[in-house]
Each structure stands twice: as structure tokens, then as C-alpha cells.
Structure 1
Amino acid sequence: MIDGQRLLSGRLAWFYVTGRWPATEIDHANGVQHDDRFCNLREATRAQNNQNRRACGKSRVKGAFWVAKQGKWRASIKVCGRTRQLGMFDTAEAAGAAYARAATEQYGDFAKVT
């Protein structure tokens, strides 16, 4: 805390090295939140920061969701707060590949596709 204000260590590290506060959020490129080495920090928008998350859910394949009624895997991605459907697939891996293509196209280096 500085002057009673709670500051995140990544933001403090950014300020210490660059001499300026980050304009947006600080993202940890390797996804490890307590790894505040400067080489692991980068400025990011909220959307970019949210892309750098691990896969979760039944499939453990990022972007792939099981749709029981249809017996298929759905791929979708969130862009600018809206969910964009990428299609239905027979396997989680195929849905994940569709997600990976869309995420890389949309978010570039910030896309975490595994």
C-alpha cells in the first residue's frame, strides 16, 4: 500500500522500470500472476488480458463447449463483449482449433489457445 491505496505488484514493477504508470492493465505473458519480472509484463486492454487465461470446463480445450442436445462440440469466442459462434464440431480438438484460429486473428500475441 502507498498512501493508503492498494497497488498491484505488477503495476509497481512497471512504474519502477518505465517511470510511468501503465495506461491500461498489466498482463503477465506467461499467465503466472505472481511472476512480476519485467520481461513477463506487458500493457493490455481488459479484452487482451482476459484472452490470456487457461482453458476450463469439461473439454479442457479452450473455446470448446459440449452441447448435449446436439451431441457436438461448439466453438465460440468473445469479442468486444459479444459472443461470436464459430460452429459445431464432432471433436473438442476441432472446436479448439477453430477457436485458436479466431483468437490468433483477433488478439495476436495475447491469444492463449491452450
Structure 2
Amino acid sequence: MIKDTVSLRFREDTKQWLSGFSVAMLGALSLVGVNSNQTAPYYAALAAVGVHLVHQIYTLDIHRPEDCWEKFTSNRTIGLMLFLGIVLGNLWKENETDETKKNIDNRIEN
């Protein structure tokens, strides 16, 4: 099914197109992270997503529909990694904010 839509459209250039889409997605997610003042856990998750995508594209066999389906269904892992990166990144931000407030309060008292 997935093979039919992607590989029929892009044929033998499928891996190049998927690479381009992956770079665009990671670039957009990086920009989102910068604009939302994300922290290290978010960017670590983006790096893990990048590694996952590279592995998917490198091992993809567009001539085997079952392999295409396996790659497609493994994208839930990408969603989970991004979700954890966002949650942990926001928790890290809250922790930094609390520490900053304590430092400011201590300076005011002194």
C-alpha cells in the first residue's frame, strides 16, 4: 500500500525524496524548538529521530511492500520520541525557571 503511493510517484528516486522530506521535517522541528525556547532533552530527541529516519531510509527496500509497511508502522516510534522530548524539555525548562527564581530571590535578600 505505502509502496504503491510513494514508490509509484518517485520511483527509483524514493530514497532521495524521503531524505529531503526528513531533512525538511527535522529543520522545521528545530525551528519550533528554537522559537519555543526548548532545552537539551528536546534536541536529544530530535537527534534520535534523525538517526531513526536515517536507518529507515538506508534499509528501505521499495520493492518489498511488507518492508515499506514495517517502515511506515515504525513511525510511531518517531512520535513517541518527539512526545518524550517535548515533555522532558518542558520539565527541564520548569526546573531551570524555578532555580532562576530562587537565585533572584537570594540576591534580593542579600
- The structure number with the bigger radius of gyration is 2
Same fold (TM over 0.5): no
TM-score interval, normalised by the smaller of the two chains:
under 0.3
Q: Which has the higher helix share?
A: 2
- Identify, as 1 or 2, the structure richer in strand: 1
Structure ranking higher on relative contact order (CA contacts 8 Å, 6+ apart): 2
